[in-house]
């Protein structure tokens, strides 16, 4: 928690003998930066490596694969 406080992600307030920590970022503010960091550290920024890791653990069902394919097609259309 001390690291998060140093980074400005949380604040702390003395309460009794301890501290109350409060997030300073919303989930929508935090998630993009953390996702990018994890993506880079674990998969070298490679989407293929990420999907391959999921596939190797049998974590993806056919429905999941269909949902991802549909989402990726929607992203393609939005970027044109």
pLDDT (tens digit per residue) in 33-43: 888 899 899 99
Residues 43 and 65: their CA atoms lie apart, in Å, by: 19
CA distances from 6 to 1, 17, 49, 57, 69 (A): 9, 21, 32, 36, 40
Residue 54: per-residue pLDDT: 87
Dump strand ranges (E) for 1-80.
Answer: 10-15, 18-23
Residue 24 has pLDDT above 90, yes or no: yes
Residue 15 has pLDDT above 90, yes or no: yes
Taking the whole predicted model, whether its pTM rises above 0.85 is answered as: no
Q: Per residue in 45-70, pLDDT tens? A: 998 998 899 889 888 899 999 999 99
């Amino acid at each position: 928690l001390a690291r998060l406080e140093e980074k400005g992600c949380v604040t702390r307030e003395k309460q009794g003998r301890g501290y109350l920590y409060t997030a300073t970022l919303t989930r929508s503010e935090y998630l993009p930066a953390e996702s990018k960091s994890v993506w880079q550290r674990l998969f070298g920024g490679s989407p293929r490596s990420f999907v391959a890791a999921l596939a190797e653990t049998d974590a993806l069902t056919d429905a999941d694969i269909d949902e991802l394919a549909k989402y990726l097609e929607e992203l393609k259309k939005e970027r044109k």
